[in-house]
Amino acid sequence: MKKPHRRLGLAVIAFGKLIQVLLVLTAGSAALLFANRVAPESLQHWADATAPESEFLQGLVDKVLGTDNKTLAIVGKASFAYAALFVVEGVGLWLEKTWAEYLTVIVTGSFIPFELYGLFHEFSVVKLVTLVLNGAVVVYLTVRIVVDRRAKKQKDTKAQGASA
């Protein structure tokens, strides 16, 4: 039987993956929508009407308007692929599958260099929090994997000693 704190840790990470899925699907859907259906003027009008003082929103609109339709379409499609990967990770973690722990360590760990680059290139609190959370996930799951492997090895050693 797995320990309750282990289940809680995996459930929290799985829930975080669900949040990532929703955010990535939203971004991907928006990218595809802007690439194919929304006129640039209407996007700028919406941003001005919604939050004219928001530097974040205005900066996001500037980035979208400065990107060609082909790039937005690629971003949209890639977002759906990432969302699928996050779903697999999240469901696997929720079901307490060891392969999901390995997958999450590899995938999440692979983003850390890009997050570091982004943080040093243009600092923001959101980037820092993302880096810290992803680092914590990688450390937590790595420790869990090592502890589980050691426990399994000890169990196997005891079982071999008892059968000899």
pLDDT score recorded for residue 60? 78
pLDDT score recorded for residue 80? 96
Within this chain, do residues 105 and 90 fall inside the same structural domain, yes or no? no
Range of the domain at 147: 97-164
The span from the CA of 74 to the CA of 34, in Å, is: 12
pLDDT digits (tens, 9 = 90+) for 10-26: 999 999 999 999 999 99
Within this chain, do residues 84 and 102 fall inside the same structural domain, yes or no? no
- pTM given for the model: 0.80
Q: Where are the beta strands (DSSP E) in the chain?
A: none
What average pLDDT does the segment 97-110 reach? 96
- Do the beta carbons of residue 116 and residue 131 sit within 8 Å? yes
Within this chain, do residues 88 and 118 fall inside the same structural domain, yes or no? no
pLDDT score recorded for residue 53? 83
- Of 60, 78, 95, the residue that ends a domain is 95
The span from the CA of 131 to the CA of 119, in Å, is: 8
Within this chain, do residues 90 and 48 fall inside the same structural domain, yes or no? yes
pLDDT score recorded for residue 105? 98
Number of independent structural domains in the chain: 2
- Of 95, 110, 134, the residue that ends a domain is 95
Within this chain, do residues 43 and 111 fall inside the same structural domain, yes or no? no
